[in-house]
A and B are shown apart, each in its own frame.
Chain A
């Protein structure tokens, strides 16, 4: 399924187990949360990759509206889909992390609520894609939704600072509030997640391109 020499897929196959090993065997135990804090490293990596995905979807949306080239719709679709997958995993891992720490699976905290809104916006974009049949109309709707939806990304990022939130913030204006070994682990898992994102994005783009080519061929044959 993966291209034999896709460098990102190969890097992800090496990087993800490497990052997991760093999380479990190198990162020190956090004093108050204990072993469950180790969810944090991949949770943050997933969130960063999801934000990147929605940024790419927004840029692809703008470029599609300006140039009307199918390639931007393909990239936008791939970015939204991978972004929704990563956001789903962020919400699930965050909920599991929150249960022993906050004693609840879910709370209407600003960071959690804005993240859920982000998930709803881009999931709606995917549903819309499957509902509209006309290709150009579908691409325009999704481009507009991706641009509008991206507005929520900085809101999610700043929510814990703007409003009273119980969600921890590690990246502050004074620096990263972690000890050096934890920063190294975070950097490794972040890099691994971004590489995985790139590999999935490339794969999804290529599938979308193949589907579009196939559709063109079918239409040509029907004429």
Chain B
């Protein structure tokens, strides 16, 4: 492999790694929002029942 190929490979791994982590964090945040909605719905159901 050419030395420039190693350079491109290293920077690709670096940016893909950081982008992957950000995507994973974004997924976690979406999951929290979903659980929060479920919780809100649960509270409303309880209020109606009481």
Contact = CB atoms under 8 A, between A and B. Distances in A.
A207 B32 contact: yes
Interface of A is mostly: helix
Contact of B35 (A39, A93, A214): A214
Which of A1, A88, A203, A204 has the largest count of B CB atoms less than 10 A from its CB? A1
Contact size class for A?
Answer: 20 to 34
Interface string B12-48: 0110011001100110110010011001001100100
Chain B interface secondary structure, helix, strand, loop or mixed?
Answer: helix
Contacts of A85: 17-18, 21
Contacts of A210: 29, 32
Given A93-B10, A96-B13, A100-B1, A221 B43 contact: yes
A1 B19 CA distance: 13
A140 interface: no
A89 B3 CA distance: 19
A203 B18 CA distance: 13
